[in-house]
Amino acid sequence: MDKLFVRQAEVYANARPAYPSEWFSKLAALTPKWTLAWDVGTGNGQAAIGVAEHYEQVIATDVSEAQLKHARPHPKVHYVHTPLSMSEDELVSLIGGEGSVDLITVAEAVHWFDLPTFYSLVNRILRKPGGVIAVWGYKNFTVNPVFDSVMKRFIGTTIPFFNANISYIKDSYCTLPFPSESVGIGSEGNPVMLELPQEMSFDGVLKWMSSWSAVSTAKENGVDLLNEGVVKELESAWGESNLVRTVTREAFMIAGKPRI
């Protein structure tokens, strides 16, 4: 999986949306202690930076070294490469030991995980009582009927190249396994729906689309999904290339605590 994000790591770091500070304030309010947090699948650290505003230390891990090379530095965030070969016991020790973590966050990444293995780790690492895990993701935005139609056709071409678990994103995590007790922010089968606004130019949109794993996978298989014709059609539908629009993505979140 880590290879999927090697080529587009720098693009990913520059194109993905930032998460609202209010999200992290609400999550921090759920934990009685604010000593240690773990941001899993951190990428370039977008979520880790927000978590660090509320916790003394954040361990931010990713299987992709390329992603971590573009992570944003922060004095309270410690970035660590965790290859898939690392054992569960090694991960537990690396993060801080059994029952050591107050908050676990997974931003736009849990659909890539081996979920049974991950949730086993969560149960071992979260503080009991008091520890909380929160996962979230987001979908595409809408602009206008013309652009949305072109975007929909493009998305259709990417589906064969996406990871199978992309279905969790398509259904807004409604079918995502989440074996935790609700803490008031969604529950298994019932995520909280949120809005994720962002100001974007067409260049920003193109960079974001270029960061999709499916685009990279397709290119490795000799298929250029963002070929010149597709880009021109998208740009025409967007409007002027330097036009900045405020777009809002549909986001979704579930938070919970271990079932004791």
pLDDT in tens, 109-119: 999 899 999 99
Domain 2-141+164-198+247-257 has CATH 3.40.50.150: yes
Percentage with pLDDT > 70 across the chain: 93
pTM: 0.88
Q: Would you kindly state where each structural domain of the chain is located, as residue ranges?
A: 2-141+164-198+247-257
Position with higher pLDDT, 195 vs 165: 195
The pLDDT confidence band at residue 21, using thresholds 50, 70 and 90, is: very high
CA atoms 232, 236, 237, 239: torsion sign? positive
The pLDDT value recorded for residue 5 is: 46
What does the chain come to in residues?
Answer: 260
Neighbours of 95 (CB within 10 A): 22
Three-state SS for 79?
strand
- Interacting residues of 260 by C-beta distance below 8 A, sequence separation 6+: 128, 129
DSSP helix/strand/coil, 140: strand
Residue 209 has pLDDT above 80, yes or no: yes
Residue 250 pairs in a beta bridge with 195
Instruction: Report the phi/psi class of residue 234: left, alpha or beta, with left for phi > 0 and alpha for psi in -120 to 50.
Output: alpha
Label residue 142 by pLDDT band (50, 70, 90).
Answer: confident
pLDDT digits (tens, 9 = 90+) for 153-164: 999 999 888 876
Q: How high is the pLDDT of residue 12?
A: 47
